[in-house]
Amino acid sequence: MRRSEVTLFTSRESEGWENDTVQLAVRAGLVRQFGSGLFGFTPSGQRVRRNVIGLIEAEMNAIGGQAVSLPSLQHKAIWKQSGRWGNFEDEMFTFENRDGQAMCLAPSHEEGVVHLVEGFVRSYEDVPRLFYQVARKHRDDHPRNGLLRTKEFTMKDAYSLHATEESLDEWYARVRDAYCRIFDALGIDFVVVDAENSVMGGSASEEFVALVETGSTALVSCETDGCRVGVTDESGDGHLAAGDSCPVCGGRLTAGEGIEIGHVFKLGTRYSVPAGLTVDTADGSTRPVQMGSYGIGVDRLVHTLIEQHADDDGCRWPVTETGTVAPYTLAIVPLDYDGAIAQAADRLHDTCGRDETLLFDDPDQTIGERFAESDLLGIPRKAVLGNNFRETGEVELETRDGDTEFVELEQVADIVSR
């Protein structure tokens, strides 16, 4: 993208948010508020969110998930059948359409996936199956903490179907492990805690909680690197407290705050029994389908990445073995966009990928403003074409963390791609 052609919403001014993370997301031009609990994502913000979604989808596909799309707008019948109509923690948006029919904006899709497979999943040979979608969800929550509690948000939700409890246990573990790989690939520091099933029902569940300075839940977690032990108020592990020894590795437990970024549930037959969803077994008998439910808060991940990694200059998006979710992988920063420097900047733009690089070609920007905007967006690398390039022909390649090397123009694309 050329800076003069793309619409950016960056600003060095404060929007007056009490939450520093949301204030930075607004300053960096990633989001704009549309009202209490409602946020829009700008082109740069949507690029980050799309990169997060791409990583999640790749992992879900790798473990055998199949993408589906379920309607957010649903009729009352399937929710009445499950017993959750109007009872989703008092957060369900309900209304009547022009024909007087009761409808809702689905806060979750357990009922929806049961309706999707009804009449098609009939035999034990039709399962196990794992269906997932990345879609907007709606809950009449009390807005707070920016992107952590909103009335509309993006979620990756998945649902598994099984003939036996053993199959459910196997796929639950498969998805749980995939979630750990997703969060590791994003560069998020997190723990896994036992949790209550609450409105979802079922027999067991676990939360993935990111460690932050300002979060939405109180957290006690192990200090040892790589140890995933943690407890919250909903964990039911009241015997574990800050200062205790970790029951797994022996490390010290400390108190802090966290953000729930994912949740996995063993639903059992909570939704299949009310709907009469059964499979025929090999011995000719019939049994209710066992189900699992698995969610990741996409917008929460964006918030968490900013919260955990930002510095005084702006956003910082981790670069891991799988890449980065930054809006651009490289900022091309010429001292001035003119003559030989402009020609070299254009060559870099072509060889490094026009869609993945941001070329600062706007003549109204100073070199200082270009550096500041690149850092505010959290772009992992800058290719600086300045006085050194004029004298030696070498590009100053600088990481977001300040590490610098001088390389030939032709080397930049290969280094960035690695």
CA angle 132, 138, 140 (to 5 degrees): 145
pLDDT bin (cut points 50, 70, 90) of residue 202 is low
User: 288: cis peptide before it, omega within 30°?
Assistant: no
- Whether 99 maps to a domain, the answer reads no
What is the Cα–Cα distance from 130 to 62, expressed in whole angstroms? 11
Helix then strand count (H, E) for the chain reads 11, 21
φ, ψ of residue 405 to 5 degrees: the values are: -140, 155
pLDDT given at position 13:
67
- The answer to whether residues 169 and 220 belong to one domain is yes
What is the Cα–Cα distance from 322 to 52, expressed in whole angstroms? 11
- The answer to whether residues 175 and 62 belong to one domain is yes
- The answer to whether residues 284 and 225 belong to one domain is yes
The whole domain housing 370 covers 327-415
| DSSP reduced 3-state for 30 | coil
pLDDT bin (cut points 50, 70, 90) of residue 193 is very high
Average pLDDT over residues 354-370: 93
Tens digit of each residue's pLDDT (9 = 90 or more) over 102-140: 999 999 999 999 999 999 999 999 999 999 999 999 999
- The answer to whether residues 266 and 391 belong to one domain is no
- Whether 74 maps to a domain, the answer reads no
- The answer to whether residues 176 and 303 belong to one domain is yes
- Whether 10 maps to a domain, the answer reads no
For the chain, the domain total comes to 2
Tens digit of each residue's pLDDT (9 = 90 or more) over 16-45: 666 789 999 999 999 999 999 999 999 999
Name the residue type at position 42. Answer: T
pLDDT given at position 233:
82
What is the Cα–Cα distance from 396 to 407, expressed in whole angstroms? 7
Average pLDDT over residues 364-379: 94
- The answer to whether residues 46 and 139 belong to one domain is yes
- The answer to whether residues 261 and 146 belong to one domain is yes
pLDDT given at position 59:
98
- The answer to whether residues 302 and 386 belong to one domain is no
Q: Is the pLDDT of residue 252 over 90?
A: yes
- The answer to whether residues 212 and 348 belong to one domain is no
- Whether 212 maps to a domain, the answer reads yes
Run of H or E residues at 181: helix 165-186
Q: Is the pLDDT of residue 199 over 80?
A: no
- The answer to whether residues 272 and 332 belong to one domain is no
**pTM for this prediction:** 0.94
- The answer to whether residues 240 and 344 belong to one domain is no
pLDDT given at position 15:
63
Q: Is the pLDDT of residue 380 over 70?
A: yes
